[in-house]
Structure 1
Amino acid sequence: MSTRAYRGRSPEQRVAERRERLLAAGLDLWSELGWSGVSVRGVCARSGLTDRYFYESFDDRDALLLAVFDRVRDELTGRLLAVPFTGEPRAVMRAMFTTLITALADDPRHARIAFTEPAGSPALETRRHDALLAVAGAVAEGVSSVAPVPPGGVRGPALFCVGGVGGLISAWLAGRHPATPEELAESCTDLCARVFGV
């Protein structure tokens, strides 16, 4: 590979830019067609790049899908962790759920990939399970910082809440649980407040 700058960008910068274009194309296609509809050819066509550049960044289609999922997971968990963990416990929970639901409403592509699209492969299923644990960890951290820790700890209740909230959000996204985002956030808060006893 050339080590010379081109149009003011280093080879590393150009590789990173091409990777971003491929990730953006993968995100769009996954949200439009489902994971099974994503192909190397389709991603290359959408991104305007050749397969040579695809394999420069990814070993195969599954590697791209995992990278797209990781991007969505990091975006959502990052927004959750940015919520201030201070104040009354119910207010912290409500702020976290409002943040999550707002993020999904802002970018429905993320909603499909994170909540409504089947995992599709063992690797994606593992990633989704890991994401569940990561979000539960964020919830546990937020709750434990403002409320008494239950005798059995917060991990179990946090996992239970995140699983239940995920089901509720999935039904909402599919139109089977009519509610405004504010009403949905309040429902999630009520349910989890009962689980944590706050």
Structure 2
Amino acid sequence: MAGDPRVGRTYAGLSRAQRVAQRRNRLIEAALELFGTQGYAATSIERLCAVANVSTRSFYEDMGSREALLIALVNRISAAAVEQAVAALDRARDAALPVRLLAVFRAYLTATCADLRSARVLHVEVVGVGPTVEQWRREQRRLLAALLIGEADRAAERGEIKPRRFDLFALAVIGSVQALAQELVQSTTPGAALSLDEICSEIAFFVDGPLGSG
């Protein structure tokens, strides 16, 4: 009985699945460099393949499209950032709610903005790409909003704050953080560089007002 053609032969000691994984990883690394420096719109598939040392045929077989590559990259960046944010929230579990929420955003922004390339890709280059990437952005907002809403609801149950509708507040905070992160990457005020500490100070001011008292 013939083997499964999808498995393929080993080459240089690697299975087909391993070779595909290596090519995908090189393409994601190339996307980080090129999308994060030149921009998504200015980066061609041919340039990505050249930097990743991958043929265009393999690109379409392994990745499918430039949008799919962008989503694979931002998924990697965001997943690591959310993991750091959840860990920070756990470490701050005994602090007041505004402090806990600030810990979430500081961890998330530290993870996404430590490298200006990843900051540009996640906070700037994903905007306005197309329906598929926009759907990813909506899902990402829902994920972060659910984290904030769940924490606010638990705080209300414990009597830290008054119970109310927190979904709009969560979206407002996320939108503000997104705008501040974009300003960090591409300042709209000449000569006015923005630091992560300044962003976090502004977030603290934003969340402390509505959530600081019970």
Common fold by TM > 0.5 = yes
Structure showing greater radius of gyration is 2
Residue among 131, 138, 146 paired with 2:147:
138
Match of 2:111 among 79, 103, 106: 103
Structure 2 residue aligned with 1:121: 130
Q: Secondary structure at the match of 2:88?
A: coil
**Which of 173, 184, 202 in structure 2 is aligned with 1:161?**
173
The CA deviation string for residues 24-71 of structure 1, in whole angstroms up to 9 with x for no partner, is 112221112222122211110010111121122122222222222322
Write the mapping of 1:32-181 to structure 2, written as runs, cut at 5 A: 32-85=37-90, 86-88=93-95, 89-117=97-125, 118-147=127-156, 148=160, 150-175=162-187, 176=189, 178-181=193-196
- SS of 1:9 mapped into structure 2: coil
Whole-angstrom distance in 2 between the partners of 1:163 and 1:121: 19
Say if 1:92 and 1:143, in contact at 8 Å, map to a contact too: no
Residue by residue over 1:67-103, the C-alpha shift from the partner in whole angstroms, topping out at 9 and shown as x without a partner, is 2232233232222222234012232122112212322
Cα contact 1:77–1:138 (8 A) shared by 2: no
After the TM superposition, which of the residue ranges 44-53 and 181-190 deviates more from structure 2?
181-190
- The residue type equivalent to 1:171 in the other structure is E
The Cα RMSD (Å) is 2.3
Unpaired runs of 5+ in structure 2?
none
TM-score, length of structure 1 as denominator length: 0.86
Report the Cα distance in structure 1 between the residues aligned to 2:164 and 2:98, rounded to whole angstroms.
Answer: 20
In 2, the alpha carbon distance for the partners of 1:68 and 1:105 equals: 14
Give the 3 Å change call, closer, same or farther, for CA 191–38 of structure 1 in structure 2.
Answer: same
The one-letter amino acid of 1:196's match is L
Inter-CA distance 97–30: structure 2 relative to 1 (3 Å threshold)? same
Flag the 1:180–1:68 CA change in 2: closer, same or farther, 3 A: closer
Task: Say if 2:74 and 2:122, in contact at 8 Å, map to a contact too.
Answer: yes
Cα contact 1:80–1:138 (8 A) shared by 2? no
Q: 1:193, 1:162 → 2: CA distance?
A: 15
1:182/1:109 Cα in 2 relative to 1: closer, same or farther (>3 Å)? Answer: same
1:24 aligned to which of 25, 29, 43: 29
SS in 1 for 2:106: helix
Give me the whole-angstrom Cα distance separating, in 2, the residues matched to 1:151 and 1:130: 25
Structure 1 regions of 5+ residues with no counterpart? none
Percent identity, please: 26
CA distance in 1, matches of 2:27, 2:193: 35
